[in-house]
Amino acid sequence: MKIATWNINGVKARIDNLLTWLKESQPDIACLQEIKSVDDQFPRMEIESLGYHVETHGQKGFNGVAILSKLRFDEVNRRLPGDDSDEQARFMEGVFSTERGALRVVSLYLPNGNPLGSEKFLYKLAWMDRLERWAADRLMLEEPIVLAGDYNVIPQPEDAKNPEAWLNDALFQPESRGAFRRLANLGFTDAVRASTDDVLYTFWDYQAGAWQKNNGIRIDHLMLSPEAADRLAAASVEKHVRAWEKPSDHVPVVIELN
């Protein structure tokens, strides 16, 4: 089974690229972030015509996540528990029946957190605490779980071409990286790092020729519960998509589960 995550950076602006990628890559389940669309304006019909079931958790102009699946959804849970006042659309869980039992897949879009010292950074850390609590609870089910998305965290210096350029950025702060490590310490596996030690990036800024200079960072991750990690066959970054016309600044990250 092929599961992918991609921060699309506006589904309406990238719909042609999205459809081309779905036809080319053929993921069984695709998690999208930053769809920047309310639910009833999401281009559902175009995607459904390719054989996908579509579920969204949208927000006008900002944020928003979606899951596209060739499998029917058994269950859909929107919003990360733990803060009823949080209205930002950043989290959705889909539950699927497979030949090997239940599979839980989450599309998540962590807050950026910049600038440092602001409420935005505190919100990022609080959101990550809520995710950790939710994930610890879900692990009790002892089912394969895939937490896929844009984490807005650079885990290690090798995950940035120029790590020193990110020292004062929320994506590379000790608190942000520590929260990511705590998630791993619960028992989740970083699928890409478990598969390769190669230098891989998933985001290149639109500014300053970052793509041409390969000045990238790795912030899009698929974290796997032990039951999912046991089934991990491969992980890769589909970097070539960044060279397409009108690209997102992120590229798809893909895993294959046995």
How much is the average pLDDT of 110-132? 98
Total domains in the fold of the chain: 1
Establish whether 52 is a catalytic residue.
Answer: no
Establish whether 123 is a catalytic residue.
Answer: no
Residue 118: which pLDDT band, with cuts at 50, 70 and 90? Answer: very high
Q: Is 258 annotated as a binding residue?
A: no
Percent with pLDDT over 90 in the chain: 100
144-187 residue pLDDT tens: 999 999 999 999 999 999 999 999 999 999 999 999 999 999 99
Rounded to whole angstroms, the Cα distance separating 73 from 53 reads 8
> Both tokens of residue 215?
């000045």
Catalytic-labelled residue, pool 150, 169, 190, 220: 150
Range of the domain at 158: 2-257
How much is the pLDDT for 216? 98
100: domain CATH number? 3.60.10.10
Start-to-end Cα distance in the chain: 6
Q: Is 84 annotated as a binding residue?
A: no
Rounded to whole angstroms, the Cα distance separating 71 from 256 reads 15
Establish whether 250 is a catalytic residue.
Answer: yes
Q: Return all residues near 99 (Cβ < 8 A) that are at least 6 apart.
A: none
Q: Where are the beta strands (DSSP E) in 70-215?
A: 75-78, 91-98, 101-109, 145-150, 189-190, 203-204
How much is the pLDDT for 192? 98
Predicted TM-score of the model (pTM): 0.98
